[in-house]
Amino acid sequence: MAEDKRLMKGNEAIGESAIRAGCRAYFGYPITPQNELTAYMAKNMLDKKRTFIQAESEVSAINMVYGAAATGARAMTSSSSPGVSLKQEGISYACGADLPCVVVNVARSGPGLGGISPSQGDYFQATRGGGHGDYYHLVLAPKSVQEAADLTYLAFDLSEKWRMPVMILADGLIGQMMEGVSLPPPRDLGSLPKKPWAVGHQADSHRPINHVTSINLVPEELEAQNRKRFERYGEIKKAEIRFEEVNVDKADLIFVAYGTSSRVCLGALEMAKKEGIQLGLFRPISLWPFPEKRVAELAAKGKKFLAVEMSMGQMVEDVRLAANGKTDVHFYGRCGGVIPSEEEVLAEAYRLLGRKVGK
């Protein structure tokens, strides 16, 4: 039974949702704008006698996750962009060792130390396997506090189902703002799926020994392992595509945007509607796998796309790949921590449609 709504910050909702999903171990390091999440986990994980460690670095935090996940426990870490860069080594190892875990990126602006304001400049890093080697992992992008909670809860299940890290790609706005949220029901830790591949408790079953590792020095064997993993990626591309559409059938121009920038586009869409103009919104929720088939279908219908991002243009490349030359794909972006306004996004849409604002 769903609980009453409560008002929560995105960062706290992610934390509470992770705990309810059965997260047994959380490892984090301070970085703005995700600090509420680490503090929430400190208080609430310790209260529940679960593991919380403030690690000495993001590098250590992801490797603690690696160790905890190797025992089959649900484990999570969170950070913001510069910290997530540091975690990429560990994410690559977790992908190579087929370990489930949840990594939250409450993204800020970059490159380098950049700023602490919201940004979507980590799309490439998140969706292309940000570390070394041939791999991908699921990436889910929430647009609201509610969705941040829901996707975090889902992320634990998906990570175990597909044996890979799942990244929640939020941004400073989603993490910091407060909204009403209905939280998912708490999971009984004992009811979570067993992990026959995990280390520990060999004495219970006298099973053969387990190794959790990404190493394989035999080229043909490693190639076979990678190919097998890519077959799984193919299955994921069929099963785990998530997106939301608003008014795409009537519209001639469709915004393509995720997370915070999709909220801005929705506002622009509503403004246009009042003026009798039909605009659409296509919002990828799974950034990897990207909903390429649906984008291709819309492109084939001759819909014009305007990708709107808080970056210099990253997701737009996936839109162009999916559209494959079938339609015009335009881009409008702000970066450095600037959130585009509904008015400027609408003005760009009108410009592309050959309309003047307010006419």
Q: Which residues bind other proteins (CB under 8 A)?
A: 24-25, 27, 51, 53, 55-57, 59-61, 63-73, 75, 89-90, 93, 97, 199-203, 206, 209-215
Q: Give the DSSP letter of residue 4.
A: P
Nearer to other proteins, 59 or 347 (CB): 59
| CB 69 to other proteins: min, Å | 7
| CB 42 to other proteins: min, Å | 14
What is the C-alpha separation between 38 and 44, in angstroms, rounded?
Answer: 10
| CB 97 to other proteins: min, Å | 7
> In this structure, are residues 119 and 135 in contact, taking their beta carbons and an 8 Å threshold?
no
What is the C-alpha separation between 99 and 134, in angstroms, rounded?
Answer: 15
Nearer to other proteins, 26 or 123 (CB): 26
Give burial (CB, 10 Å; 0-12/13-18/19+) of 123.
Answer: buried
Nearer to other proteins, 19 or 315 (CB): 19
What is the C-alpha separation between 63 and 25, in angstroms, rounded?
Answer: 12
Closest C-alpha to 291, from 355, 342, 240: 240
Terminal alpha carbon distance of the chain: 49
| CB 56 to other proteins: min, Å | 4
| CB 281 to other proteins: min, Å | 41
Nearer to other proteins, 197 or 243 (CB): 197
What is the C-alpha separation between 122 and 131, in angstroms, rounded?
Answer: 13
Q: Position of tokens 């622009």?
A: 268
| CB 210 to other proteins: min, Å | 5
| CB 201 to other proteins: min, Å | 8
Query: How many C-beta neighbours within 10 Å does residue 250 have?
Result: 9
Q: Give the DSSP letter of residue 336.
A: T
| CB 208 to other proteins: min, Å | 10
Nearer to other proteins, 77 or 125 (CB): 77
| CB 61 to other proteins: min, Å | 8
Structure tokens at 40: 């929430």
Angle between helix axes 10-20 and 145-162 (nearest 10 degrees) is 40
Nearer to other proteins, 182 or 213 (CB): 213
Nearer to other proteins, 164 or 173 (CB): 164
Structure tokens at 344: 């400027």
Our measurement of the distance from residue 103's CA atom to the centroid of its chain's CA atoms, rounded to an integer in Å, reads 8
What is the C-alpha separation between 108 and 105, in angstroms, rounded?
Answer: 9
Nearer to other proteins, 68 or 168 (CB): 68
Nearer to other proteins, 75 or 256 (CB): 75
Angle at 106 between CA 101 and CA 107, to 5 degrees: 120
What is the C-alpha separation between 332 and 338, in angstroms, rounded?
Answer: 13
